[in-house]
Every structure is written in structure tokens, then in C-alpha cells.
Amino acid sequence: MTKPLAVITGASSGIGEATAKIFSEAGYPTLLLARRIEIMESFKLKNSICKKVDVRDREALVAAVREAEAIYGPTDMMFNNAGVARLADISTQDPNEWDEMIDVNTKGVMNGIYAVMSDMKARKSGTIVNMSSIAGRKVYGDHTVYCGTKYFVHAISESIRGYLSPHNVRVIVMSPGNIEAEVLNGITDPNTLAAYKANIERIGGRISPEYVAKMILFAYEMPQNVIMQEVVVTPTKQDY
């Protein structure tokens, strides 16, 4: 292999799936991580390893990364994409949904960073891409805990970027708005779901995750001394 390893969490659908396919098409070996391994295996990507991993399981995540690195060499791009959006009125929402979002969206990102950060620092090369959201920059009434988790991603990314920049390691934040993904499947509050669908219709629909994947590849393939610190992308008609 002449190109380095790219690791993608949450790779079974949406932006994770699109990024896995874009990087594979560009010639990068990939490690795909998600809970639905049969879907990832159906992609049949060249030079790709698929592992059934829940990002909340730090040991399993690290073990999968080490296994792939033994075959393809050090991870040069880690995309911490896995996340869940349980959107609802905070006063009536099941607190178990809070726990799931906090564990997956914050601890899961930290586990991915942990798996590669020390080695990237030692090699003085590498790129970490963390998935946030427009909801990590603005707050929405029925996104309370979700917004909190994405603000967390912004905060730790800023901190770790400052820590790793002297070591030539990049930390990039992706902050998409309404993207075609499985987010609607996780909304159990009927009022929130109806409002979400109405807003999508109002702005003329969501945009393809392939556009986000292309932006990640573009940012990654810039010279190592160039960093797009944050990329915010929404449908043109999305006004908030």
C-alpha cells in the first residue's frame, strides 16, 4: 500500500458510509467500525477491514485499530463520526436517551482520539476529524442534551488541536446541518419529529452525505502544514 490507513467510526450509514467509500475510491485502506457489521461488509471495499465495535467500548475500539495497523501501518486519518441524536422536549424526555447521547457522542469521540493520539504525536503526523454539528454552534429547544454533546466535541477539539499542533498533527471539526442520514430514526418524541420533518420540507430537503465526505477528503489531502480547522455545511436554504 502506498497510502496510509483511514479509520472511520459509525461507518455503516450516512456520512460514515459515504466517507468510507470516498476514501476507498481514493486508494486509502480503511478500517470501518460500527455495530452493524453486515452492512459494512456489503460495501465490499478494497483493502478494507470491518469490525463490529461500539465506540463506548474503549478496549474493543483500540484493539480493532491495532489489528488494522498491523496490516496497513499507522492510522493517518481517524474520523470520529459515530453519534446518535435523541431529540425531544427535555422536560418529558427519557433520561436514558440523555445517557446514550452523552456516552456515544462524547465518550465515543474521546475513545477514538485515545486510540491514535499518542502515536500521531510521536510520528509528528496525522489527522483527527471529529464529527460535531451545527447544533454544536447554536442551540435548539428540543436538542438540549444533543447540543450539549456537540458543544463538548467543539471544546475538546479546540483544546486537543492546541495540544497537538506543535507536533504537526491536525484536528478538524465537521459541523453539518441537515444532511440525509438516519437521524430521524432516533427521534421518539412525535412532536419533535413532526417539527423536524416540517423544517426539512420548508428548506427544500436535506443534502447528500457524499458532499460532507468529499469535504473531509479535500481537507485531509491538503498538505500537512495546512488545516481547515472547522467545516460548516448546510443546505443553502437552512437559515438557522
Any idea where the domains of the chain sit in the sequence?
5-233
Q: Which of 28, 72, 146, 196 is catalytic?
A: 146
At 128-155, the pLDDT tens digits run 999 999 999 999 989 999 999 999 999 9
pLDDT at 185: 80
DSSP 3-state of 172: strand
Degrees, nearest 5: CA angle 66-70-71: 125
Q: Known catalytic residue: 146? A: yes
Tell which CATH architecture fits domain 5-233.
3-Layer(aba) Sandwich (3.40)
| Residues making up the chain, counted from first to last | 240
Q: Is the pTM of this model over 0.85?
A: yes
| Cβ pair 179, 209 in contact under 8 A | yes
At 37-63, the pLDDT tens digits run 999 999 999 999 999 999 999 999 999
Q: Does pLDDT of 173 surpass 80?
A: yes
DSSP 207: B
pLDDT at 1: 65
